[in-house]
Chain A
Amino acid sequence: MTETMVSTDRLTRRYGTRVVVDAVSLTVHKGEVYGFLGPNGAGKTTTLRMILGLVRPTAGTATVAARRTGALIEGPGFFPYLSGRDNLRVLARHRALPDTAADAALDRVGLDGGAAFRTCSLGMKQRLGVAAALLGDAELLVLDEPTNGLDPGGMAAMRGLLRDLAAEGRTVLLSSHLLGEVQEICDRVGVITGGRLVAESTVAAIRGAGTLFVRAAPVDVAAAVAARFGAVTESDGGLRCDSPAPPLVQALVRAGVEVHEVRTVERSLSDVFFELTEDLA
């Protein structure tokens, strides 16, 4: 049986009459990378804050099974006058860890940590935030937009780091706008919009099976044949259907149609995300 690391049960947060998070029930399994997706203002950060105990729920519960949790929530917050290394030492001491824990965390994200935090670039600050989350061998990492402000090289490094962390058996709850990144890294995703969790599944399941795209001529004959397989004709004359390729292609050939192109079109996580969030917008 899969062990649960984070679970929320009808987690709700209202500010006055405004419902920011509306009865969200999500489950993050131990050892998985869980992508938490949603447009701006969907309630992602408030949900993560409730999971971490920074914000009290109006109703519902959030349960975290991890003994050691590291978090980066809505940008890194550090003492501006301290160096990155000293900032991590402060946090390490809060956890009763030796100062060397700060050095190890810095090495992990490839930072020197000698510069004052206020002089660091956005990307360095972001990496320092991830280093802080890694302090003390955290079992669960809650990372809110960890790639914000990173250049392409930094993003690739972060992606590699997240993969490594998952490979080590850590659980990662990751909120991100970069759907391509999420599709590559995450095992499962939850999609939140308007404060409600509208989908939660594995990345493969949420993307669904691919559709068949066929281009053939003459278009009117091809369309008539393909219609029997439930295909629809697109504006450019291409045919799209959920049927397997062999029977459709055989029928087209038998009808004397020239088949120019047959391919499977897979929906990206981005396509699904926009369908889900736009439907409910």
Chain B
Amino acid sequence: MSAELLRLRKWPVLWVLLGIGLTLDVLFGYVFDYLSYRTGSRPVSEDAPLLAGLLPAGVPVTTVEGMPMFGGAILLILGALAAGSGYGWGTWKTVLTTAPSRLRAFTGLLGALGAVVAGLVAAMFAVNFACAFAIAAAESSSFDLPPLADLARAAGGALLMHSMWASCGVLLGIVARGPALAVGLGMVWTLAVENLLRGTGNVLAPVAAVADLLPGTAAGSLAGALGAVPFADNGTPGVLSTLDGSAAALLLSGWTVVFTLLAGLLLTRRDVM
């Protein structure tokens, strides 16, 4: 794992992606909503709940609400690049002739990506708290912290969502044996196919049954269960109320395990050219 952490830590792409993730998180979580609040471009009745979401007590919900959409996409891209680029650079070949076993090399990559996911989640909470405290100070509002249980649930949910999308990216990178196709396929799936299937599910019951089990449905439902307002109720894109929290968490864990096992199976059994 320390080998993979070393090469990820010095990879400019990692920092660019993490920077984009944090920037989007701050922009969509705080900046746009606060500007909307300050400019009064909403009905007055919505001002109080809008401000409440921007204060420290609202950090758990605000942090997870962006994860099903752009957060997932960024982690999927990271996973696909981290696993897929090694085929083009020839580094899988070098690593697999150096590491004691293919499985050790694969678990090293997973461990390093897990550390990156944990770091990103921690950074998002830290940045969001900083924004929330700044807004609370500017508006002379409450500095009350959220209950620790809510914070822990949100952090756990965030880790689960990001881990699932990162493992999906790793699988795509290994399947495609390169980053470009993997990223393309991942984006088409998360941004188009899943939404189309959910749309089709509204008119075709069998499709709805399948759509309820998709990775994006699980991630969106978990964010919804953690308090984010579903898109259908004028909330955040990607947030759903299809599954309850336990079912969504279970499904997310299941997808993470499936993606990881498939990726591991392919990497350890396929020829490396």
Interface residues of A (CB under 8 A from B): 49, 52-56, 69-71, 73-82, 86, 89-96, 132, 135
Contact = CB atoms under 8 A, between A and B. Distances in A.
A55 B3 CA distance: 24
B100 A78 contact: no
A93 B272 contact: no
Given A52-B97, A54-B97, A132-B94, A93 B6 contact: yes
B3 A94 contact: yes
A83 to B, nearest CB: 9
B177 to A, nearest CB: 13
Given A77-B91, A78-B89, A90 B97 contact: no
A77 B10 CA distance: 17
A95 B3 CA distance: 9
Contacts of B108: 94
B10 A82 contact: yes
A124 B94 CA distance: 16
Contacts of B273: 49, 54-55
Given A77-B90, A77-B91, A94-B105, A89 B98 contact: no
Given A54-B273, A90-B6, A95-B98, 4 more contacts: A74-B90, A76-B90, A78-B90, A94-B95
B99 interface: yes
Given A54-B271, A81-B10, A135-B98, A93 B3 contact: yes
A94 B271 contact: no
Which 10 pairs across A and B sit closest by C-beta, in order of nearness?
A77-B90, A93-B3, A94-B99, A71-B97, A77-B94, A55-B271, A94-B3, A54-B272, A91-B98, A90-B3
A53 B270 CA distance: 10
Nearest to A89: B6
Nearest to B108: A94
Interface string B95-113: 1111110001100100000
26 contacts: A49-B271, A49-B272, A54-B271, A54-B273, A55-B271, A55-B272, A55-B273, A56-B271, A70-B98, A75-B90, A76-B94, A77-B90, A77-B93, A78-B90, A79-B91, A86-B6, A86-B10, A90-B4, A90-B7, A91-B98, A93-B3, A94-B95, A94-B98, A94-B99, A95-B100, A135-B98
Interface in B1-51: 2-4, 6-7, 10-12
Nearest to A118: B89
Contacts of B7: 79, 82, 86, 90
Interface of B: 2-4, 6-7, 10-12, 89-100, 104-105, 108, 271-273
Given A86-B6, A90-B7, A132-B94, A95 B99 contact: yes
B91 A78 contact: yes
Contacts of B6: 86, 89-90, 93
A73 B93 contact: yes
B93 A91 contact: no
Contacts of A80: 89
Nearest to A135: B98
A73 B272 CA distance: 11
Contacts of B272: 49, 54-55
A75 B93 CA distance: 10
Contacts of A74: 90, 93
Q: Is the interface of B mostly helix, strand, loop or mixed?
A: helix
Contacts of A86: 6-7, 10
Nearest to A45: B273
B111 to A, nearest CB: 12
A132 B98 contact: yes
Contacts of B95: 90-91, 94
Nearest to B91: A77
Contacts of A49: 271-273
Nearest to B100: A95
Contacts of A95: 98-100
A161 to B, nearest CB: 19
B89 A79 contact: yes
B12 A81 contact: yes
Contacts of B2: 93
B89 A91 contact: no
A144 to B, nearest CB: 11
Nearest to B90: A77
Contacts of B96: 53-54
A69 B94 CA distance: 12
Contacts of B104: 94
A73 B90 CA distance: 10
Nearest to B1: A93
Contacts of A94: 3, 95, 98-100, 104-105, 108
A70 B99 CA distance: 10
A47 to B, nearest CB: 13
Contacts of B100: 94-96
A52 B10 CA distance: 29
A178 B118 CA distance: 51
Nearest to B3: A93
Contacts of B93: 54, 73-74, 77
